[in-house]
Amino acid sequence: MKLAVTAPDRLAVRTVPVPDPGDLIARLPHPTAMAWIRHGDGIVGWGEAARIPVPPGDDRFTTAAGRLADLFAAADIDDPVALPGTGPVAFGAFTFDPASPGSALIVPRRVLGRRDGRAWLTSIGAPDTPPEPHRPPAARTGRRGTGGALTPDDWKHAVATAVTRIRRGHLGKAVLARDLHAHAPEPIDARVLLRRLADRFPGCYTFSCDGMVGATPELLIRRAGGDIESLVLAGTTPRADDPAEDAARAARLAASPKDREEHRYAADMVRDALAPLCSSLHVPAEPELLRLPNLLHLASPIRGRLTGDRSVLDVVAALHPTPAVCGTPTGTAMRLIRELEGMDRGRYAGPVGWVDARGDGEWGIALRCAQLDGPRARLFAGCGIVADSDPAAELAEAGHKFGAMRHALHG
């Protein structure tokens, strides 16, 4: 079986240092963009040198890592820059549910990156591949919205059902998501959404891969050499325009038993998943506040040192799905999500990011995002449900979380 259906037998990869390219998003030549950017740094890619299909199943991360390793091991690589993200790189987006199809790894033909004041350009594929012409971004995006899989009342009923199950002791937490649809008069240009998201949420990880575009605040895992980092987010409240009210909301969030319980589930799971993989691991005793332009989150930054030669995809496999996007116990929460949400999430709340030939990479959880399909966009938002959750409050929270992509689509 061919490992990567669009790949030649042997990839030719050449990375060269380049002068500072300036705005990375502005350098993307056409709408089918790949990107991972925070505070202006990161990598962007375009074209497709190889696509690695990932079949559904509990072993999909292992399968993907093996197929990618085979592809990269056979490549002819010239990489004098030797930083995380140089040499051959694959962007990836995995479905939330292991039983769902649609996960993929894509190796672009061109990768432009900047990190710590150094910039590079990587060419992947045939050496004589001509550069792709630049097409200016289309200004118009989404204008008309429609409902999703469940009406607001039906979704509140689903939340109430989940609360009942939790109070009966069936599980500790479940995360329920909603979807909405938007339609544009012409195909939606991912670059326009990337530009608006990066400008409004510079501290988030703005991403694009295979039509999945968003700005996630949640870093699932970063690997650079043997060092790893993760940022756990769970527990949310909207920002207020008035500084005094904003401070009061932050204080209520920090003291909220419901939100602290939700956060503890997520942080404990990440600690338990990473501990067997690490020689050292630091987990803060108390969460801190992460302030975004539209939301406040309880956050726990976690750092560790890996044992052995583990790729970032090996760590993703150990972590996904976290209680922040699924619930706990994981199996029970996953079954409840399948029962109550009335939809397949696709890649929403799944891992999204990039991996290089050294096994370094950065992966987030696909939140505050939309899946693009020509002139259509499917938006997602989810909420953590625990015993004290109120359906109306959770519906309002989901509405706030839709705000990021609504802004990106409508400007």
Q: Which residues are catalytic?
A: 173, 218
In a 3-state reduction of DSSP, which class is residue 273? helix
What is d(CA 388, CA 248) in angstroms, rounded to the nearest whole number?
21
Angle between helices 312-319 and 60-73 (to 10 degrees): 170
Q: Which of 105, 1, 6, 97 is nearest to 57 (CA)?
A: 97
What is d(CA 114, CA 124) in angstroms, rounded to the nearest whole number?
17
| Dihedral sign for Cα atoms in the order 350, 372, 191, 32 | positive
In a 3-state reduction of DSSP, which class is residue 364? strand
The helix/strand count (H/E) of the chain reads as: 8, 23
Angle between helices 391-410 and 190-200 (to 10 degrees): 120
Ranges of H-type helices in 201-351: 243-255, 257-274, 312-319, 330-340
State in Å, rounded, how far the first CA of the chain is from the last one. 45
* The residue to which tokens 């020509």 are assigned: 374
Q: Which of 347, 342, 289, 301 is nearest to 161 (CA)?
A: 342
Encoded tokens for 230: 């993760």
Q: What is the DSSP string of 263-313?
A: HHHHHHHHHHHHGGGEEEEE--SS-EEEE-SSEEEEEEEEEEEE-SS--HH
In a 3-state reduction of DSSP, which class is residue 246? helix
What is d(CA 401, CA 238) in angstroms, rounded to the nearest whole number?
9
